[in-house]
Structure 1
Amino acid sequence: MNRRQLLAAMTSATLIASAREGWSQANTPFKIGALNPITGSGAAYGTGMQKTIFAAVDEINGAGGAAGRKLQVVADDDQSQPQAGVLAAKKLIEIDDVQALVGIWSSGVALATIPLANDANIPVMVTSGAPEITSPKINSKGLVYRFNATGEGFGQAFAEVCAREGFKRPATMAFNNASGVGTVEGFRKAWAKKGGEIVEAVVYEPNQPSYRSELQKILSVKPDVIVAGSYLADTTIILREWFQTGETQKWILPGWAANADLVRAVGADVTEGLLVVNSVSNETSSAFMSYDAAYRKAMNQSGADNVYAAMAWDMVVVLALAIEAAGPNAEIAAINAKIKEVTNPPGAMVSSFAEGKNALKVGKINYEGASSSVDFSATSDLIPDFDLSVIADGKINRRYIVKI
């Protein structure tokens, strides 16, 4: 082989290798790790979240995939526990080679697994409320996106409800973790801005058979309402013991602790009159209609019953739109850089992956989601609307929307 033939062969080999590399990236599935609370305190929401993630992926793949790449889901149960979440996340990242983690519900699980995702340089999308999750210390690489309000945001909503309902002497009870304490601390700050004071505050440890001593401390100061940063299991015990005292003050509970499972666990008499505050889906949007149809098909119930599943739907769509915007050969860092670009204004308003995919051919887009408008703040947080519901005759009925 002469010099000219050698150079031609080398050039041809280089072009083939480059083409193969581009083909490989563009045609290799993008793996999503669905890390959801199938068991544990978040079990009422986790299965719906997981099935919604699969449904969203099916819709995106049916539209041709993102930037020519099919999405693939690898699912695991974090058991609503940090230790189990870490083990599941390590498997998803190190063995399954996922390129993003979506659907983390518990703040404890989020705080425990984000360092693993940071080390792997992959995005993490959560519904968790602990304020520190998106702090510069935890979200040091800008890879974490919160699709729900912070605990502080819930606290502000609780304060709005307290003021609107005319309460004057609130007390707080908080589960001793980042979410529970963060929620009641957010309430304390918001209530103080309204000129109010909290008459008593108790932080309690989990997994106790009884909370009578903590409850008696609260009841001794005669509050007119008790604001709780709690979960289903501990709320069940606390409300049973409160009902046995014969006291009649009101309770304001987060929606994840006061749902149909709580009514079934303690009965309609105990839950009568409970006030429930929750973030609510973007129910008038086209995106919600698509999500709701998928959720009804998967779970045989309304999508409005599981706001976290609506958030999971948006996580997948946003990730797919970011992949589409970044292009077929984009690395994860380039995809991550597009997440806020496809969700925040300016840009053409879109409500589905297919719509966004077409609009990206001519310019920027602004995804309007099923769970909220999905406009991320500088700290990668969202601010959805809230509602106040009241439990009456065992039914949870919305009374009004709360904006903060």
Structure 2
Amino acid sequence: MSASSLDRRAFLGLAGAALSIPNLAFAQGNGPIRIGVLVPLSGGGGAYGQGMANAARKAAEFINNEGGGVLGGRKLEILVEDSESNPTAGVAAVRKLLDVSKVSAIVGVWSSAVAMAIKPLTIEKGVPLLVSGSGDEVTQGDNKGLVWRFQARGSDWGAVFARAALKDGARKASLLVLQTPFTLSMVDPFINAFKQGGGQILDVVYYNPNQPSYRAEVEKVFGRKPDAVFLPSYLPDLSAIAREVYRSGFSDTRIYANSSSADAEGAFIKNVGKAVAEGIHHIQSIPPAESTAYKTFARQAAIPAGTLAIFPSNVWDEISVLALAIERAGSADPQVFAKSILPVVNGTGAGAKAVENPVDGLKALRARQAIAYSGAGSHFQFTPTGDQLNRQFGHFVIKDGANKLLETLK
């Protein structure tokens, strides 16, 4: 056998041994720590993706430049992929982030359907998954302490919608529901809360995304003249349904939609026009705009004054919490620093220092202080299963082509 063959055998043996060492890319070295950002740059959530990606980049810049990075100077590196608001595309993108880019965490993830599709992959790799999806199933099951939601649960939203409709005087309501994990999780909580408040449910009708027509569903639901229709949806289907409601003369019935479809950074009003959008109510978990945490985020991410950047502020918090967890754990190994996500948010004991931005949190951790991070997206705490507590909701109505905040709800 030639010397070159022996050398090749030795090389292959060493390569195989290296590949067998778990988390080698995460646990060693002084290079950048890669964070995968999966956002909807296209599809039903396309209005939100660029803002979410920008928030991730600005959070990393703030941490790298003002906070000195993590673990003695290691930088956070942001790698963005498009989920296309689609589970199949999301899986392909996450495989690239996990297997090729070797990211230490996945953040963003606007769609609950995408989150459910990629969750088995991230858990198998032992990589934390920080999501903005609201579907209850996202945090259910044995997630091995790796899945954390930076948004309210869908079941919490449902009851809030019901209380808002009842407060507005509705006594008869129907539901017209898109079949996705996020929207379906709101149905039973809405029905239960509406009935408990003395209301009557007339109809519950489900529809599929991307239908060629919604006329039959609209006539069935609105034809019975309910006081209110709860319409959890995505931007494209809400736009089509709202046009059908307007054409059919059913505009006297109040529509209650989720803001991620009825606002979508102004895309809904642009899609349908002022006349069609007029009077539609929408509700969304909103950030604490007057807080120091939100103002710091807005300044760093160049958010226009008077704007509530809902999903970008959640992503800012996701990057911030990751940086704090890595610093507290003293490790870039995902399975190690994942255990520090809960304590850097909830604090450990009465002496934990409240911090409203990641740079202050890093300084406190380096001074050996326990911290409790208060976010730009919400002054939240986590349950042990990864859901957020204490989020507030904004109840809006569209008037003369603009969104008007009516009240803040718990």
**Correspondence 1:84 to 2:89:** yes
2:321 matched residue in structure 1 = 318
1:3 matched residue in structure 2 = none
Partner amino acid, structure 1, of 2:334: I
- 1:295·1:303 contact (CA, 8 Å) conserved in 2? no
Partner amino acid, structure 1, of 2:209: P
Alignment of 1:220-299 (within 5 A): 220-247=223-250, 248-259=252-263, 260-296=266-302
Structure 1 alignment gaps of length 5 or more? 1-20
**Correspondence 1:372 to 2:354:** no
User: Structure 1 stretch 357-366 or stretch 116-125: which is displaced more?
Assistant: 357-366
2:341 matched residue in structure 1 = 339
State the secondary structure of the residue aligned to 2:282: strand
1:179 matched residue in structure 2 = 182
- Inter-partner Cα distance in structure 2 for 1:198 and 1:291: 42
1:74 matched residue in structure 2 = 79
- Inter-partner Cα distance in structure 1 for 2:214 and 2:332: 53
1:5 matched residue in structure 2 = none
| C-alpha deviation, 1:186, in angstroms | 2.5
TM-score, normalised with respect to structure 1: 0.90
- Inter-partner Cα distance in structure 2 for 1:131 and 1:188: 16
| C-alpha deviation, 1:302, in angstroms | 4.4
State the secondary structure of the residue aligned to 2:43: coil
Q: Which of 169, 172, 185 pairs up with 2:172? A: 169
| C-alpha deviation, 1:246, in angstroms | 1.2
**Correspondence 1:357 to 2:362:** yes
- 1:181·1:203 contact (CA, 8 Å) conserved in 2? no
Q: Which of 383, 389, 400 pairs up with 2:407? A: 400
| C-alpha deviation, 1:141, in angstroms | 1.3
- 2:36·2:79 contact (CA, 8 Å) conserved in 1? yes
Q: Which of 112, 121, 125 pairs up with 2:126? A: 121
**Correspondence 1:155 to 2:161:** no
List per-residue Cα deviations over 1:227-270 (Å, max 9, x = no partner): 01101100111111111111211000100111121111111111
State the secondary structure of the residue aligned to 1:38: coil
| C-alpha deviation, 1:330, in angstroms | 5.2
| C-alpha deviation, 1:303, in angstroms | 7.7
User: Structure 1 stretch 83-92 or stretch 151-160: which is displaced more?
Assistant: 151-160
Alignment of 1:185-200 (within 5 A): 185-200=188-203
1:389 matched residue in structure 2 = 396
Aligned CA RMSD, in angstroms, stands at 1.8
- 2:27·2:332 contact (CA, 8 Å) conserved in 1? no
- 1:348·1:365 contact (CA, 8 Å) conserved in 2? yes
- 1:291·1:303 contact (CA, 8 Å) conserved in 2? no
- The structure-2 alpha-carbon separation of the partners of 1:109 and 1:140, relative to structure 1 and needing over 3 Å to count, comes to same
List per-residue Cα deviations over 1:96-148 (Å, max 9, x = no partner): 00010000000110000011101100000101011111002xx4312100010
Aligned structure 1 segments of 4 or more residues deviating by more than 4 angstroms? none
Partner amino acid, structure 2, of 1:229: P
- Inter-partner Cα distance in structure 2 for 1:234 and 1:302: 30
State the secondary structure of the residue aligned to 2:299: helix
Structure 2 alignment gaps of length 5 or more? 1-23
- 1:272·1:392 contact (CA, 8 Å) conserved in 2? yes
2:5 matched residue in structure 1 = none
How much identity, in percent, do the aligned residues show?
35
Q: Which of 32, 36, 44 pairs up with 1:33? A: 36
- Inter-partner Cα distance in structure 1 for 2:307 and 2:127: 30
**Correspondence 1:205 to 2:208:** yes
2:14 matched residue in structure 1 = none
- Alignment length (residue pairs): 377
- Inter-partner Cα distance in structure 2 for 1:378 and 1:325: 18
List per-residue Cα deviations over 1:330-385 (Å, max 9, x = no partner): 53222000001000134110011221112122321000110011310132111410
- 2:126·2:146 contact (CA, 8 Å) conserved in 1? yes
- 1:292·1:303 contact (CA, 8 Å) conserved in 2? no
Partner amino acid, structure 2, of 1:81: N
1:11 matched residue in structure 2 = none
State the secondary structure of the residue aligned to 1:256: helix
Partner amino acid, structure 2, of 1:227: F
Partner amino acid, structure 2, of 1:334: V
